[in-house]
Amino acid sequence: MPTTERFTLTGRIVQIQVAVEAELARRLAERGFDDLRPSSAPVFQHIAPEGSRLSELADRAGVTRQSLAEQITALERSGYIERLPDPADRRARIITLTDRGWKAVDTGLSIIADIESGWARDLGPRKHAALTDALEKVAEAPLGRDELRCARRSRQRRA
């Protein structure tokens, strides 16, 4: 598709997501987290503060346990997470963030806040509020979070 064509709304949202992921990765690397990749985001986004089992984390992230396990192993090697025995079930492991993991989360949230404040500055208060409201409504619409997660799982099963 030529770059002069207008993006669909969905295309524009994906374009923004890709740009934000790239900017986040760039700024995290500048701050010493150069081993983090956008594919690690589901772990940081969905891990409970007290830790999560792999199955819970995969369900929340809407990905398979197998693909998430690979991310967990890489993040563990890099010192962002650790697997601890689950006190409720000795066979299970709880995945928790290490100090380095929490620093990466705090740094990432700060970067995202900076990106979003730039949008607010560029748009002005009224347009920013309208955009926020519109996106919240889209996210809660019938094709919101739960439906997208189910569609992603269905696509993964077919692959």
In DSSP notation, 80-149 reads: SEEEEEETTEEEEEEEEE-HHHHHHHHHHHHHHHHHHHHHHHHH-HHHHHHHHHHHHHHHHSTTSHHHHH
Tell me what pLDDT residue 148 has. 56
User: pLDDT below 70 — which residues of the chain?
Assistant: 1-5, 143-159
Question: Is 142 within the bounds of a domain?
Answer: no
Tell me what pLDDT residue 5 has. 61
Domain CATH for 111: 1.10.10.10
Question: Is 133 within the bounds of a domain?
Answer: no
Dihedral angle of Cα 141, 146, 149, 151, to the nearest 10 degrees: -70
Question: Is 45 within the bounds of a domain?
Answer: yes
Which tens digit of pLDDT belongs to each residue from 111-150? 999 999 999 999 999 999 999 999 999 888 876 555 555 5
> Number of structural domains, the chain?
1
Question: Is 25 within the bounds of a domain?
Answer: yes
Question: Is 57 within the bounds of a domain?
Answer: yes
Residue ranges making up the domain that contains 110? 9-123
> Which residues have a Cβ under 8 Å from the Cβ of 43 and sit 6 or more positions away?
57, 61, 68, 71, 72, 75, 81, 95
> Within the chain, what is the greatest distance between any pair of CA atoms?
58
Question: Is 101 within the bounds of a domain?
Answer: yes
